[in-house]
Amino acid sequence: MGLSTGADLEAVPGGIFAQPWWLDAVAPGAWDAVTIESNGAVFARLPYVARRRHGLTYLIMPPLTPHLGPWLRPFPGKNASKLAEEKRLMTELIERLPAFDVFTQHFHHAITNWLPFYWRGFQQTTRYTYIIEPLSDLAAVWKGMGANIRGHVRDAARGVTVRDDLGLDVFLDLNEKTFKRQGLPMPYGRDLVARLDQACSTQRRRRILFAEDVQGRLHAAVYLVWDPQAAYYLMSGADPELRSSGATSLLVWEAIQFAATVTQTFDLEGSMIEPVERFFRSFGASQKPYLRVSKTNSPLVKMYDDTRTWLRLWRARYKNSVETGEPTRAAR
């Protein structure tokens, strides 16, 4: 596939995950967007994916899509004016959303003001991603990586070769092995990934890297997508029997170097899973908080969520009482 220069404009504002072609691939026929325009110019946009389950309407995140959330046109001027404009636009976006029972979205880390959502009864949880920026000085990026990661990269480079010509099916075989090792099914279907891969290939916005040794064994693979602002470490896979080779670290470093030729930053796609977070952090990336914004209008779903929360707290306190010998009390 050809390479994007990173300077081209998207069809609509908001980055790669907000583009119609991306949403057509991950949520065909299920997505829409509320938009605020004036004199032909877009001032705000909020795409969403709607699903019906058990008679309820959910506005949710589609698979393989790290963030959606509102896009707001940059507003020049004093900070007070900027915040007032953000409030106006976000409030109007909320009002234009279709009726829903449950809303859940992950906002881009650049969106830090969610007060208009709070004032409309939404809640938020802070999550984290890891960003490498800028990519203009790769020597500094290399120096900022942990010594263990640099060692893994060097070791792997002596034992494997990086290639990018093996195709999606080979990548998915490795990707599936990673989930099987954890006793988990793949969280997305191969047909969905194939549809997304075709769309990304058409848009010249993806690259798959593989690590292969002299015996022809594939150690690991990573799937990279990008837009003019950032490259995203979207998926990966590894052979459980060859994990000690350091091939994944090598591929991430190769992906970072490639990203520097097409975009400005590298997003490692943060994780709340401790071992995964530790791996991402070791690349010397900056921790960036992002917002998980949600709202539940259905009383039935609220009761179910409250019950699950109570049980989770009770189990945690019960476990603590077993470990410490303290008496168990009902979670409050």
CATH superfamily placement of domain 131-288: Gcn5-related N-acetyltransferase (GNAT) (3.40.630.30)
Strand, coil or helix: what is 318?
helix
Q: Tell me the β-bridge partners of 162.
A: 211
pLDDT of residue 273: 80
The mean pLDDT of the chain is 90
Question: Is this prediction's pTM over 0.85?
Answer: yes
Tens digits of per-residue pLDDT, 211-270?
Answer: 999 999 999 999 999 999 999 999 999 999 998 999 999 999 999 999 999 999 999 987
Please check the confidence at residue 122 and state whether its pLDDT lies above 60. yes
The Cα-based distances of 141 to 25, 133, 217 in angstroms read 33, 8, 29
Tens digits of per-residue pLDDT, 259-296?
Answer: 999 999 999 987 778 888 888 999 999 999 999 999 99
pLDDT of residue 1: 30
Concatenated DSSP letters of 232-295:
EEEEEEE-GGGGGG-HHHHHHHHHHHHHTTT-SEEE----SSHHHHHHHHTTTPEEEEEEEEEE
The Cα-based distances of 216 to 24, 85, 89, 159, 211 in angstroms read 36, 57, 55, 11, 10
Give phi and psi for 76, each to the nearest 5.
-75, 165
What are the sequence ranges of the domains in the chain? 16-128+290-316, 131-288
16-128+290-316, CATH topology level: Aminopeptidase (3.40.630)
pLDDT of residue 7: 37
Which long-range CB contacts under 8 A does 108-115 form with residues at least 24 apart? 108/15, 108/67, 108/69, 108/290, 109/67, 109/288, 109/289, 109/290, 111/69, 111/70, 111/72, 111/290, 111/291, 112/291, 113/83, 113/86, 114/291, 114/293, 115/87
At 5, the pLDDT band (50, 70, 90 cuts) reads: very low
Same CATH topology for 16-128+290-316 and 131-288? yes
